[in-house]
Each structure stands twice: as C-alpha cells, then as structure tokens.
Chains A and B, each alone.
Chain A
Amino acid sequence: MNTHDRPLIPYGGLTGSDGQPYHAERRLIDAINAAIVLERPLLLTGEPGCGKSDFAFAVARSVGVKLLESHVRSDSRARDLLYHYDALHRFGDAHQLDDAIRKRSADATHYVKLLPLGEALVAPNRQVVLIDEIDKAPRDLPNDLLRELDRGDFEIIEIPSSATPPSERPPGTLARIMKRPPGASQPIIIITSNVERQLPDPFLRRCMFFHVKFPDDARLTDILRSRAGGIPYVDKLVDLFLTLRDVPRLTKKPATSELIDWAKDLEARSNQAEMAKAIESLWASLEQQAKADKTIRRLPEGKWKALPGLHCLLKMREDLEAVGC
C-alpha cells in the first residue's frame, strides 16, 4: 500500500466538465476512493442527468489527467472498447500497387489503434476512463470486459506473437499481449449505467457499486446558486422543480441540467420583476395547496401553464399534456 502515489479525491473543490464546481456527496467520494484503493471499477447508477458522467470528468480533473471516454454502442464487443483493427484498410493497402504501402500492410501494428480503454490499461501514468452507459451494450460485453479489467492486460489477436519477449520491447509499443508497464498504476475506471438490474451478476460483484441519488433540494439550491446566482428566488425554483418531477405519469422527468437551463433562461429575461412575481405567486399557490392536501405537494389543476419557461423543463408533448397544458 504505497499511499503516496495513490490519488485521493477530495470531498470538495471538484470541477465538472463545464468548468463549474461539481457538488458530490461525501459517500460518492468515499466510494471512488475505496475503488482506487481496491483498483476496481466503480459502477455508478442513477437517473439520467444526475451527474454520473460529469463525476468522471471531475475525478479526471482532480487526478490531473484528461478523461478518456469509451462510448458503448448497442453492438459493441469488449474488443471494440480496447482497440480498433482496421482490417479493411489493411486489405486495401495489401492490394495497392505501391511497394512501400504493400510492405507496410504486412505489419499488422500499422492498422491497430488503441481506443481509450486500451490506451488507459497500458498507459505509464494513471488514467481515468469513463465507460458511459454500459447498459446499452449487449449483455455479454460487461462479462467479457471483466477479464481485461481484472488483469489489466489484453490481447490483440490480429498481431502475431513476436519472438521478442515483452520485457525487451520499449514500453508502449504495440504487441500481441498488451501489458501495463511495470510500476504503472491501474487506471481509475468509472462505469455508468442508467438501470442497474440488466447487468450480469459477476460483473456487479467485481465492481464497486454506487447509486447516485437525484440531488435533494439543498444540493439543487447549491447547484443553482453557483450557476445562476443572479436569481433571488432560487429555493422557490427548486421547490417548484421538485414538485414538477413528482407529477405522476411523466414520461421524462426533468433533470438537473434542465433545471439549470430553466434558471438561466429566467435569469436572462429582461422582465425580471415580472418573472419573480409569477414564480412567487405560483409558489404561494403551491403552499396553499400543500396546506389543504397535507401529504403531497402539488400545484392546483391547470396552474402549471402559468410557469414561465416550462418548455425548458418538459420537452415531450405527452408530458406537457400530463401537467395540463
């Protein structure tokens, strides 16, 4: 356990991808630090828009490297995250008239390109990798990835095994067996998933798991204050926003980023006094209704229409209909 070269993600002072402060809950930081200790991938689940991917950016910034992003597609195989082998191009080159190009095509390494995850696994310095939306991938992919993530090395089957033992090759050159250079540290791997149930059990067991909750009102208020500080009625916005999220039958609940857009939209408007008045009055009626209902918070029927900038929050027709527009 050499603690000195293990990065420690601090509880505060993180910066997200857009250069704005990233407010992470302490347990999430505990989880990522434990994942770094155990050199395991961290699986983040949570609703879309609760800041899972942004957290990876924040970690990369804190570690001081550029985030390597692996985007998973519905037809990705595990190898597609590690490297890309350009068979077609090689095939084309092999049939070129130019001697030099033909000769070049004999060497498979010219047609192999490491992809972010592969690059990170063999990098000499610690990297941060984001494997985004792994639930989109075919069911086999996570299990196939396990071996590579566990061992930190992988095979490029297109490259014939060479006579030179790996120890004599300069680090970083392409070879059949790609190994982490000695002394290098395991990359920090952050995997996000919108739904946790679809992932295979062995994979879940190997990963550290953390569910990123949708931010509560206090954190949302903090976030808004730091993004759209010009608005005096931030807490009321948050209250309305959370109430809107609780409206039953919404197909797509508005996410944090939509809240921010909304606040920015309101902030940018010229008739500030009017806006404030509209929000205040809506909020007042919300309070009034809450007193009557006692248990649930909701706006009276048809009141949502009066919310300025509602289109920033709800984007689908059926959702707009659901709130009575």
Chain B
Amino acid sequence: MTADKTTRAFVQSLVDQRLLTHDLDHLLALEHLLAVAVAERWTPDRLSASFASVLATSPLQWEKIERACQDFVLQGLPSGVKQADLRIRVDAPEPPGVRAKLRERAEPWIRRLARASTATWISLLLVGLLAGVAGVVAFVVYGGGEVEELVVEPDEPSSSSTTAEPTDEPDEPPDPSAGDDGAVLEPMLVEGESPSLAIRLDQPTSLEPVWLLVALGLVSALLAGLGVAWLFAPRDYREFVRKRDEEALGLRAKRGIGEIPYFVERFAPFDEGRMDGAASILARIGAEARGFELDVVRTVQRTLDLGLPAPVMQATHAARELLVLVDVEHGGHPFFDGVEWLLTRWRRSGLHFVRFDFAHRPARLETWPERLAFDLDEVARRTEGMPMMLFSRGVELAYEHQVPAPWLERASAWPLRVFVDLDPRVPSERNSAERKALAEMRDRGFLRVPFTPDGLDAAVRHLAGARAGAGRVIEEPLAPLADINIEVAIARWVAGAACVPDPTWAQMEAIRRHFPELANALPDPRYLQRAIEWLRGRLQDAKLGHDPTKDGKRLAVGPLGIDLRVEQTERDTQLATPNAAQFVTQARALILHQLGGAKPKATDPARGMWDLRVAYQHAMLEPAKADELLHIFFGTAQEGEMLRLADELAREQASLHSPGAKALMGRVRSETEGGQRIPTLKLRPSLRRIGLVSTIGLGVGGISSLVWLAIADRPVAVVDVSVPADMRLLLPDVKLGGECDFGQPLAIPAPPTGGLGDPSTGRACASEVALATTEAPIRLVRLSGGEFTMGERSDSDEDPHRVALSRFAIGATEVSVKQYELVMGNRPSNCNLGCDADHPVQTVSWFDAVKFMNALTKMENDRRKGVRLTPCYDEATWVWNPGCTGYRLPTEAEWEYAARAGSTATYSFGEDAKEICKSANVRSEDCDDGFENLAPVETLRPNAWGLHEMHGNVWEWVFDGYDSEFYSSKNVVNPVNTAASEYQALRGGAFDFRPVYSRSANRLRYLPGTWNRFYGFRCARGAVQP
C-alpha cells in the first residue's frame, strides 16, 4: 500500500460522505503531509487534526473530517497495517524481518542490561549460580539418596520414599502439561509406564539419570545464556554508547567548548537598579514618524507659502524598538563583558531591542544571536528611524584608510544615535588620531557618552527625546599611572593575574574584586585599561612588544608573568608589606577555587587540561612536589602544555632562588631537548572489559565444573576450563615496575663501567600503546636503559663487550599481520606458515619494515593531538634521522639488551636449551612448543621484561647494517652501525631453526631488499642519537 493510494481512498471516503468535493490540490497536500507523518512517526491524532485542518473550511466540517480520518486511520486501513503500526509506518506493508523484530523486542532489555552496573551483574550472576547449585545439590542429595535406597532394596514398598519425591511423582503421569520438565519427561515416562505400583517404584531408577541430565542441562544453559548475554548484548550496546559519546565529545572539542576550565564569578559592573530604570525609560521610547496620512491643512498652507506642491504628512507616534550595534572587534575585547552584562540585564528586564554585532566598522553586520550576515544598507533600511545605540571602543570606527568610513553616510537612517564609548579614557587623554575619530563621530550626529552609569543615563535621556543638554556628562578621568598607589596596585593585580596562564577579562575583574587592597586602590572595573597600558609598557621594555589584548578574549601576560611575580615578591619583601609574598599565594588559592568550581566530567576533553591546571597551581604552591605533580602528564595530550608550564614553574622557582629549582629546570630542559616523550597510558577500557569477562568466564567455568564433579560419581563429560585467549594479556609473568627514571639526562648515557661478567642494569617500566592502531594495539614496553654485556663467546662475530644504552621502548610482540595491514594496507605473509590476523607478519624486507615505521609514525601523528612525532627515516635514502621521536626498528644492541631482559645467560630463561619450548617457537628435538609453523604473537611465555617471542617464531630485522667486526669498535654508547653495508642484521631465530639460532647474542645477515618467509620485525621508539 502506498501513500497516495491511502490518501486517495481517504479523500474518496470523505467525498462519499458528502463532506468534501474533489480537489487535486488537497490531495497533493495530504500526500505531502502523509509522507512527513510517516517519516516523523506522527500519532494518528496528530495526523487526523492535520488532515482536517487542510480539508475543512468550517468548524463542523473540521470535526467531522477529523473523526472520519481517525476512523479511517484506525479501522479503514487495508490489511497489514494496524493501529499500532501507523505510528511507525504506513507505506511498509511487508512485516519487518525476524531479526529486526527480535532486535526491536530485545532492545529495551539490552538497554536495561547495559545500564546495570558491573557489581549488579556479578551479584546477579552469583545469585543465579548459587540458586542453580543449591537446586542441583538439593536434588542430588535427596534424589540421589533415594536412588541408592531403591537400588539396594528393590523390594521395599513405596513407603520408604522421601516426602519430597512422591509429591512430584504422582502428579506427572496424569498431567502432561504440568510444566516444561514434565513435558520433556513425558515421552520417556511413557516407555516404562504402567499403572501398577511395582513399576511405579522402578520409575525413580529409570528417571534418575534423565533428571540429572535435565537439571545439569538447565543449569548449563542458564550459565551459557548469561555468559552469552554478558559477552555480547551489553558490550555491543556499550560500544555503541561509547562511540556515540566519543563522537559528541569530539564534536564538542572541535567547537572548542570546555576550552576554559575555570569557574569565574561575574560581577555587575554598574548599579543594577539604575540600569533597570534606564531600560524602563528605553522601553517607553516612542518616535514621531512620518505617517501615511496627508496633513491637509498644513499641506495647503505650505504649498501656498512655497508656491510649489509640498505635501506634509501627519506625524504619528509609534513605539520604537531600540537598535543596538555592538563592536565585537576580534570576537571580544576588555570591555566587552560589561556590554554583554548590560544587554543581558536589559533583555531580562523586558526591553526589546534589535542587536547586530560587527567588527570594527558596521559595514557588515551579524544578527544576534542567530549570526546571519547583513549589509549595512539592508539593516539601515529595515531599522530606519529606530533609536540607535552603538557600543564600541571607536578605535577604527570612523576612519578607514585616513578617510571617513563610508558607513557613516548611512547613519542618517537613525535620527537618534548614540555612540557609547567603551574606551574608559577621557578624550583629552587620547592621541590625535583617536580624537579626530571622535570629532568625526560627533560631526555625524552621534552623541558620544562614556560607558558609565552617568553616560548611559545621558544616552537614554537623549534617545527618549530630551532636548539639548541632555547628553552632557561629566566624565571622571581615571587616575593616571603616574600615581604611585595606582601603579603599585596595578603591578600587584597583573602579578596575580599572571598566575593564571591566560586570564580572561572576567578573571581579571574577579581578582580585582577579590583583594580589598586592589578594590580600594582601583575602585572601578575601568581600571583594566590602566592595567593594559601598564603591561603594554612593560612588554615594550622587555622588548617582547606584543599586544597584551591581541586575542581579544584574554590578557596575554606571557613569559613576562614570571618576572612580574618575582618582582612583586621582591618589592613586597623590600617594602616589608605585611602580606609580603602572600599575595601571589592568595591569588593561586583564588584560581584553585575557580578551577574547583568548573571540574569537567572525566569523559570531557577539557578534563585533561583541567587536571593539568590544577596540578600546576598546586605545584606552584608546593615546589617540592612539583616533579611528582606535573610529570604524570608526560605522554598525554597535555604534554606540550605541561612542558611549557613546567618550564615556567622552573624559571620562577629559579628566579626566587628556591631549593631544588635548578634540578627541576635541568630536568625539564633535558625532557624538552631530548625529545624523548614516552606516554603513560592506562589499560584501555576494552582490555579491562575483556579481563572482567574472562574472570567471570573462569568463575562460571570453575563453579560449573565443580558442580559437575560433585554431583556425578559416574563419568560425565569434563568441562574444559580453558583460559580464553584474551586472558593471557592479564596473566603476565612479569611485573612491570613503576615509571622509568625521568631524572636522568637521556640524550647520551655515560660509557659503560662494568666488567664483562657484571650483570645488566636497567629494568622494564610501564608499557605504552601506539594509538595509531587501536584495533590491534601495538604494545611497547618501556625500558629504562642501562648497561649490559653484548655478545657471547660462542661465535666469531659475537665478541662480548660492555655497552650502555639510553632508555627506549620496544614492542612487546612482533608486528602482527593485522597490525601490518592496518598500517600498510596489505598482508604480505605466506599463508602456508600462518597468516592469521595475530600471526607475526613475515615475507617482509628490511625496507618494508622501515617503511612501516614511518607510516606508523604518520598514523600516530594523525591520531595524537598535541605532540608530533618526527619520522625516523628519510624516505628516499632510508637514513636514520638523528633525534627522531617516531617509531623505528630497534638497534642491534637494543634488541639484544631487550632479549636478555637482564640475564647474562645464553637465553633469557637460562642456559638450558631444553627449556626453550615454553618461551619460544623453534625447531627443537628435545621438547615440543606446540606449534608446527608460526605461533600467533603473544602466545608463549614472555621474558623477564614482558617481551614475547624474542627467541624464535620469526627472525626480526634490526636497524643495523651487518658488520662482523662492529663489536670490536670503540662504539659502546648507544652503538648502531649506520655505515653502508651490503647486509642488514636479523636477530632471534625462527620457528624452523634450531634453538641455537635463537640465542640472545646470535646474529644473522640478509640482503635488505629481499624478503623471506622467516623474516619479520618488531617496533621500537625512543632516544638513541646515532
């Protein structure tokens, strides 16, 4: 059934009832309406009312048509469409697919399930389990006991039965529909059934295994069902919700919402009552306007006087709306907040005005708040005759390229025009160009008033039609900067504001109001002008020369801020002011208070920035803890900002000669200059979820197997309690330490000092994840760096020597097929050996590997906000860029250091090659590692630092060119062989090679341009500077 047939049938039925005559126009309109109604799921009531409104021309007809329409919609629709369906669709007669139906029905459940917290889930599951177990155990205890009795004494009459049993039993034969269990049992009962008592006694024996099976089956089904529900439904739904939230957050982040995580108290700049009074006067403004009627008497008089036809129109008095033009400059300026406050106040008190915003000159205007752009001509035409108020600082208002701005020509459209000068300086204080602009405005008929209560009063009186003299205002000049009290207060004010890295104008005002000493010396918000002037002077002195109001929305104190604060403290100390040095502390307390009022949610993109700001202020208050507070932001999106703030902190502390400042300074510098930024990432939520699921899976499996074992003394199928594959991630053999020591300068470590027999130094720290491939995350383990003995006395090219390494991060696994595909877009692997998603990628050349690294770096940069990684290899020559921060191949030394994981033995697990099968996939005659060909990555036991399959599986390309003599060179600090070489080195052996090839120290060489099914690689990242 299509929409047009429906409407035609409906209209026809109305015509039949003589309610209507045919009209094609109506039909088209109804079809249109129906289409919209279907798309928007209108209710039948709404549809009927709409139809009736289209068709009817009288109240009675309207009611009849509405009723007819409702009848038609509810009953008259042909088969397939029901009352309930109309709400959904009229044009889809075919029933929705079974899946869709099920989904629709299940949706609310899924939602409910998903909303239940994890705790609820676990408790529900446990309760269900306990109930199941209790039921089964109870059954076995009673039922099982009886079985034994019956078997031992088959002649015993039924009197020996327990009370529980007979209540069930006699019911069943006569009542086949007594429930699910009964129904299931029915066919089995029938076989051995007989009316005699003796046979009834036998029933339990024949029933017993069936009962047990059924009960077990039910419990298992329950468990399986719960497990499946837990596994899929809520996860899908949560995934959906998470994605949706992320998109919304991303959108918010794009729009820049949540940019300023401060809660700043706003203050009224003027007396509220006075402004309300002004609003009520403005609301009453009327205007004499030229009417449409001819004033005959005066026309005749005038025509006679002039000797020319001179019509005079009757004047009318009409209520006038106010036109407000606001100069927003670059989207804001220091005195803009005051205007916003005033206009909001007026609007709230019921004053109607039309507001347009413009930048600098009102040639192009935007409506407020819809932001539609208009030409001045259009606005002037529409608002002609309205009283007009122009809010601007007037800097570029009147002149454009030295000539009066063309917009002034159109100003005559508004007979009453007021220019509210937001610049708090009196005209005599301005420079000649500014004075000229003011004069031009005056000549064009604008009444200039200052932005003060008196000024606004004068403006209102002028607009309300008071005659000459109404606009005279006595302006009170601001106290000059030369006044020592003013300057001291302003210096203090700015020093306080400099504690916020980027104070908004409202924050400046909040600081002024917060401190009585400031509010006393600077009694008016307009003193912000003086603060800007003062700061402008300081910036020029400091040869920084930028405009502190440049961005329009906040005061740019910049690097000068520290000097200001330091200076302030010194001055306070010198003057022995009672609150010496406390001012800045108090200012910080205020800022922390402001931050406290604006804590974003944990999922908000602004949260990271907020955390950083709080940490920074705390660090400033407690310099001793600065290191601890700030460095947790390494590797997060706030890293760049953090380094800037930390630098600021260090400089200030150094300036104030506080202890420990130099160390912090050095630390920050080394972090900045070393370019080594390794992020700390928390376990991704998905991993956490997998963990939870696995735990519950284990729990369920364990309990159910216990139940099975407990209730069955005959052999039953054994439940396989295998650990889910994902579980391995959560059962690491290694414990990762805390953070690697960031205090060590990392660029170049000291030359090694230990002897050949000395153990390795260093340790594994937290792991990190490459954000680029979240689908198959590339996990890296951060290693602290240190020194170790490289090589072994078993081969000629492995001359043992001591080597020192910077810290770096290395892949916990070989790069998998999936990861390679995500980055490079293809799967080069040879499938005879294994090319599943989680097999290590093979059949890749050394060039493929380095290309992969650059591509991964690029992807990572696209994903990460804030920090940019530099690619490690020149794409043309594949030369390593020194000091790169992106992904790269490990060097040979790094690889061996990582493979040894602190051990000095042949293998990371010891000397005995027979042990190798637990840790490596190799071709061993002594043991079986379980894999004929390739093993998926992260299958076998990792080494002490959490690195999997360093031994075996695939040979791994390293960056170094192969040189058998390289170990004997003096190159022992971050050694890497970058000399041109025919071969590149490979490490670690492979699945089809004997264990001896997998020794930590073993080296292989191969042509870099060729690939081989045994060759793969793993990632590294970090600070070697070749």
Residues in chain A within 8 A of chain B (CB atoms): 1, 3, 19, 26-27, 30-31, 33-35, 37-38, 40, 42, 45, 66, 84, 86, 88-89, 91-92, 95-97, 119, 124-125, 170-174, 196-197, 201, 204-206, 208-211, 213
Contacts and interface: CB of A to CB of B under 8 A. Distances in A.
A95 B313 contact: no
Given A31-B50, A92-B311, A205-B26, A173 B56 contact: no
B62 A38 contact: no
A205 B57 CA distance: 7
B294 A30 contact: no
Given A40-B29, A172-B381, A88 B294 contact: yes
A27 B35 CA distance: 19
Contacts of A171: 378
A35 B309 contact: no
B58 A196 contact: yes
19 contacts: A30-B45, A30-B50, A33-B46, A34-B33, A34-B49, A34-B50, A35-B53, A37-B33, A40-B54, A66-B352, A89-B290, A125-B372, A170-B375, A172-B381, A204-B57, A205-B57, A209-B57, A211-B58, A213-B59
Nearest to A80: B292
Contacts of A210: 53, 62
A95 B57 contact: no
B32 interface: yes
Contact of A38 (B54, B308, B311): B54
B309 A33 contact: no
B290 A30 contact: no
A174 B29 CA distance: 32
Nearest to B379: A172
Q: Which of A31, A35, A66 has the most CB of B within 10 A?
A: A31
Contact of A119 (B23, B26, B292, B382): B382
Contacts of A40: 29, 54
Nearest to B43: A30
A96 B26 CA distance: 55
Nearest to B30: A38
A86 B290 CA distance: 10
B533 interface: no
Nearest to B23: A205
B180 interface: no
A316 B288 CA distance: 35
Interface string B19-57: 000010110010011011001100001100110011011
A55 to B, nearest CB: 14
Interface residues of B, number: 41
B378 A170 contact: yes
Interface in B351-367: 352, 367
B409 to A, nearest CB: 13
A155 B246 CA distance: 52
A34 B62 CA distance: 14
Nearest to A3: B40
Contacts of B59: 45, 196, 211, 213
Q: Which of B26, B66, B308 has the most CB of A within 10 A?
A: B308
A51 to B, nearest CB: 16
Nearest to A92: B311
Contacts of A92: 309-311
A8 B25 CA distance: 24
Closest 6 A-B residue pairs measured CB to CB? Answer: A34-B50, A211-B59, A30-B49, A31-B53, A204-B57, A88-B311
Given A40-B29, A40-B54, A92-B311, 7 more contacts: A26-B49, A27-B66, A30-B46, A88-B294, A88-B311, A95-B308, A208-B53
A40 to B, nearest CB: 7
B25 to A, nearest CB: 7
Interface string B53-87: 11011110010001000000000000000000000
A65 to B, nearest CB: 9
A91 B311 CA distance: 8
Nearest to A28: B49
B313 A89 contact: yes
B54 A208 contact: yes
A1 B40 CA distance: 11
A171 B382 CA distance: 13
A38 B313 contact: no
Contact of A205 (B25, B58, B350): B25
A211 B65 CA distance: 13
Contacts of B36: 1, 3, 37
Nearest to A201: B57
